Structure 1
Amino acid sequence: MLPKNFYKLALLLSFLMVTMLSCRNKNNEFSAGTWRATIKNESGTEVPFNFEVTDSSGVKKLYILNADDRLLVDDIQVSNDSVTIRLPLFDSEIKAALTSDGFTGKWIRHLVDNDISMEINAQKNTDYRFFKDDPDAPNQLSGRWSTTIVSQDNQDTTIAVGEFRQEKSRVTGSFLTSTGDYRFLEGAVSSGRLFLSAFDGSNCMLFTGTINGNTITEGKFYSGLATVRNWSARKDEQAILPDAYTLTNLKPGYSSLEFRFPDLDGNQTSLKDPRYKGKVVIVSFLGSWCPNCMDETAYLTNFYKEYKDKGVEVIGLAYERTNDTERSKKSLEQLRKRFHVSYPILLTGYTNKEVLKSMPELSEFKAFPTTIIIDKQGKVNKIHTGFSGPGTGKHYTEYINEFENHINKLLTAK
C-alpha cells in the first residue's frame, strides 16, 4: 500500500504541470495589439513592417499596416504554440512558432513551379517600424523627387518620380513609374539616412539611401528574396513621367477589340453581346498576382456601382501566371469575393506573358494593369497603361477625376 503522502505529492505535481502548461500557452499566445515583424532576404537584410492583431470573441483578425493602408487578413489558424496566417490574393502564407515575445517562422510564396520561403520574426506589443524614437528631423523629404532605379548589372533602368511626406522623422509616400507605382511605403529619416519599407503579401520591399540636401545617393532597393537595385534621386517639383495614354496602342488598321472568353461562372462573354451594345465599356487587363491590379479593381468595383445605370459596363480580362484553369479560377474567385466585384471577370486562358497572343489588335503591351476605354460605337477610345493607386496621394485623385470626367463626356456624346 502506498503512503498517503504519495497521493498528495502526485496531486500537487499534476496541479503544477497544468499550471505551467497554462502559463506557457498564455505567454505564447497570438495576442491582440500592434506587432513589429521583419522578413530576412537572401543577403541577410531585414525588411520591417507592422501589423495589428484584433480578437473578438476568440475570432482573430490581422491588419498589415503600410502608411495609410490597412490590409485585412482574416484567415488565421492558431494551434497550440503555432500560427498559420494565409495572406489574401497572392497565394502566400506565414507559418510560425509562437514564442514568449512573438513568433519565428517562414513567409512562403507559392509560385507556379516552386515555393520561395524567407525567414520572418515578429515581436508583440511593438509599434515602431525602424527606430524606437521619433525625434524631430528637418523637413527635407516632403515633395517630388526625380528618381532613377538601376539593376546591379546596369542593363535595366527605371525612371520614376518619388512623392514623399515627412512628419518629424516619419516618412510616407511612393514611387510612381510609367507602368504603375510602388504602393504604400512607410519609414523614417535618421542621421541623414532614409529608410522605407512595405509588405503586402505579394512582395517585401526596402529602400535605403543617404540624404545630401536636395539629393539622395547610395540608394539600395531590396525586393523579394534576392533582387537588389541601386537608386538615386534629386528633388524636382517639375518631375514628370511619360503620358500613360501614349504607351500602348492598336496596330494600324484596327479600331476595335474582339474576344470571347468564359467568365468565372462559365458564361462565354464577348463585346458583341447585347449587354454591351451602345454602352461605354471599360476593359481592364489584370492578374490576381498584381498588387497595382488590386488597387484598380478596388476602384473599378465602386466605379461600376455608380456608373452601371448610366450606360457603363466593365469587363476584367484575367491573365494569370499559369495555364492551370482551376488554379487560376480559385485565385480569381478570391479576388472577386475580396472586392465584391459585380462585373464579369473573364478567364482568358493565357498567362501574363501571352497578352499579345490573345489580343492581335495590340501593337505592344507594357504592363498590368492596362485599361482600354471603348466608346458607345464599339471603338477603342483610349488606352491607359498602369494605375496610380491610393498610395500616390493626389496623383490617384487626379487620375480618378480625369478618368470619370472623360467617361461622362463619352456618355453624353452622340
Structure 2
Amino acid sequence: MIQQKIRLFLFITFTQILFSCSEKQNSTFDFHGQYRAAVEITSNQVPFFLNLKKSGEKWTAEILNGEEVLNYNEVYVEGDSIRIVMGIFDAEIKAKITEQGKLQGVFVKNFSTGYSIPFLAEKGDFPRFPTQKTAEFDFSGKWKTDFEDSNGKTYEAIALFEQEGSKLTGTFLTKLGDYRFLEGNVEGNTFYLSAFDGSHVYYFQGSLSEDGTINGKFRSGPKYQETFRAERNESFELPDAYSMNYLKEGFDKFTFAFPDVDGKIVSLEDDAFKDKVVLVQLFGTWCPNCMDETKFLAEWYKKNKSRGVEIIALAFESKPDFDYASGRVRKTKERMGAEYTFLIAGESNKEKASEALPALNQVIAFPTLIYLDRSGQVRKIHTGFSGPGTGEYYQRWVDEHETFVNELLSQR
C-alpha cells in the first residue's frame, strides 16, 4: 500500500515535469531547507531525510537516518542545479529544480559502470513512509531473523526494533556487521524501513503473520533482493566474533609489507611498531561498517597513542589502481581525522585479500580487527563490526576493546 502511494507520488511528479507549460527553470529557488528525498530501485522507493544548509557562500548537506546525522561539505549549487558529493564515498547526487519546486535527478556511483538510479526530493515536513492506517502491532523488541537470497543461501541475523506509535527505528545485526540506522513507519501490521548513507541503499518491508512471525523482503541497491522470516527471541545470539578468524597452521606470526598513500613500503617489522601493541584493521573506503569502526578508532587512537599503541589500516579498494585507491584513502583519513597509518593492500575482493594475507585462514569480512601484542604475536581477531546503530552490542564491543588493549599494554 505504501509503495503504491509512493509510486503514485513519483508518477504524478514526473508527469507534471514532462507536461509543464514552461520550459524555463526556477533559478531563484531557495535550496535551503528540509526535504523528504527518495531513490528508486525498480519497484520500490527508498526514502530518507535531507537537509540543505548555506553559510555565507558555502553549502552543506545532512542525511538523516534515525539517530544518525551524516554530514557532507562538498555541495555545489549553480543556477537551478545542485551536486552533492557523498563524502568519503565515490558517489554523488546530481539534481535540478522542477517547475513545481522539487528536486529531480540521479544518484550515481562513479566507480561502478552504469550505476545511476532516479532521485527525487520535495521540501517540507513529510513522514518517511506515508501511512493511512494506524499501527495495529508493536514490533519493538529482539527478533531472531533468517535471511535467504535468490540462490537459497541463508544466514542468521538479529532484528532490533523500537516503535513509538507508527514510527519504527532499529537495525538488523548479522555475524559480520549491521545494516546501520534504519528508520520507517508501521501501517496496520506491516512495517517499512530504509537507510541511505551516501553509498548504500537499504529497504526492508515486513508483515506480521497469523503465527506471530514476520515475513518480509530486503532490497539493497537496484537489483539485489532477499527474503526474511523473523520470530521474537530475546535470548538468541550470533556466533562469537572472535572465533571466526585465526592464523593458519604453520604460521606463528602475522606479517605483511604494503605501500602507504605516498608509495612508501611499510611493514610490521619497521621500528615505528617495535615493542608496541599494534591493531591491524582490514577495511575499505566503500564499506559502511568500516567507516563506523574507523570513526571510533580515529578518536580512540588520538587518546591512546602515547601509551604505546599503533594502528595500521590495510585498505582493500574498489579498483586495482594505486592512484585511485590512495586518493580515496587520503580523503577518508582527512574526513575522519584518522592519524594512524593507512596502507594500500589490494582490491575489495575477499579471495584476493586472502591471498594478500596468507597467514590468515581467510578474509571473511570487512572490517576485521587483528590485535597484536608487544612481541608481534596475534592475540585476538575480531571479525566484522557492530556499529552504533546496534546500541548495546556496540557498547559491549567498546568495553571489550578497552579492556583487552589495557591488558596487552600492561604486559611486558
Shared fold by TM > 0.5? yes
Give the corresponding residue for 1:77. 76
Counterparts of 1:131-280 in structure 2, within 5 Å, are 131=130, 137=135, 140-154=138-152, 156-212=153-209, 215-280=212-277
Counterpart in 2 of 1:61?
60
Structure-2 residue corresponding to 1:412:
410
Alignment RMSD:
2.0
In structure 2, distance between residues paired with 1:380 and 1:334: 30
Q: Where do 1:37-116 residues align within 5 Å?
A: 37-42=37-42, 44-99=43-98, 100-112=100-112, 114-116=113-115
Question: Identical aligned pairs, as a percentage?
Answer: 38
Asked if 1:369 is matched to 2:370, the reply is no
The runs of 5 or more residues in structure 2 that have no matched partner are 1-21
How far does the alpha carbon of each residue in 1:314-365 deviate from its partner, in whole angstroms, 9 at most, with x for none?
Answer: 0000011211111111111111111011001001244433111111111122
* 1:117 counterpart letter in structure 2: S
Cα distance in structure 2, aligned partners of 1:350 and 1:173: 32
Task: Evaluate the alpha carbon distance shift between residue 23 and residue 372 of structure 1 in structure 2; reply closer, same or farther with a 3 A threshold.
Answer: closer
CA separation of 1:356 and 1:134: change in aligned 2, threshold 3 A: same
SS of the residue aligned with 2:27? helix
Query: 2:178·2:390 contact (CA, 8 Å) conserved in 1?
Result: yes
Instruction: Give per-residue Cα distances to partners, 1:82-130, cap 9 Å, x unaligned.
Output: 1111111221111111123321111111235x13011111101234201
CA contact (8 A) 1:139 1:168 kept: no
Query: Is contact 2:25–2:80 with CA below 8 Å preserved after alignment?
Result: no
The amino acid that maps onto 1:108 is V
8 Å CA contact 1:75, 1:86 repeated in 2: yes
The Cα of 1:33 is off from its aligned counterpart by 1.8
State the partner residue of 2:292: 295
Alignment of 1:293-332 (within 5 A): 293-332=290-329
Q: Does 400-409 or 250-259 show the bigger shift?
A: 250-259
The answer to whether the aligner puts 1:33 opposite 2:33 as a matched pair is yes
Deviations 1:129-181 (A, max 9, x none): 0126896x467222111001111232x21210111111222111111111111
Deviation at 1:257?
A: 1.1
**1:29 CA drift (Å):** 3.4
SS in 2 for 1:355: helix
CA contact (8 A) 1:88 1:201 kept: yes
TM-superposed CA distance for 1:54, in Å, is 1.4
Instruction: Quote the residue 1:283 is aligned against.
Output: 280
CA distance in 1, matches of 2:369, 2:145: 25
Question: Residue 222 of structure 1: CA displacement?
Answer: 1.1
- State the one-letter code of the partner of 1:45: N
Distance in 2 (alpha carbons) for counterparts of 1:159 and 1:286: 23
SS in 2 for 1:153: coil
Structure 2 SS opposite 1:25: coil
Structure 2 residue matching 1:363: 3-state secondary structure:
coil
Classify the secondary structure of the residue corresponding to 2:406. Answer: helix
In structure 2, distance between residues paired with 1:381 and 1:215: 43
The equivalent of 1:7 in structure 2 is none
Correspondence for 1:24 among 2, 23, 26? 26
Structure 1 runs not aligned, ≥5 long: 1-19
From the superposition, tell whether residues 248 and 141 of structure 1 become closer, same or farther in structure 2 (CA, over 3 Å).
same
How many pairs were matched up?
389
Q: CA deviation at 1:279?
A: 1.1
Query: How far apart are the structure 2 equivalents of 1:369 and 1:231?
Result: 24
Confirm or deny that 1:341 pairs with 2:338: yes
Q: Retained in 1: the 8 A contact 2:140–2:160? A: yes
Residues 351/229 of structure 1: CA separation in 2 closer, same or farther (3 Å cut): closer
CA distance, structure 2, for counterparts of residue 352 and residue 106 of structure 1: 27
Q: Which has the larger radius of gyration?
A: 1
Q: In structure 2, how many angstroms separate the alpha carbons of the residues matched to 1:400 and 1:133?
A: 41
Which of 313-322 and 342-351 deviates more? 342-351
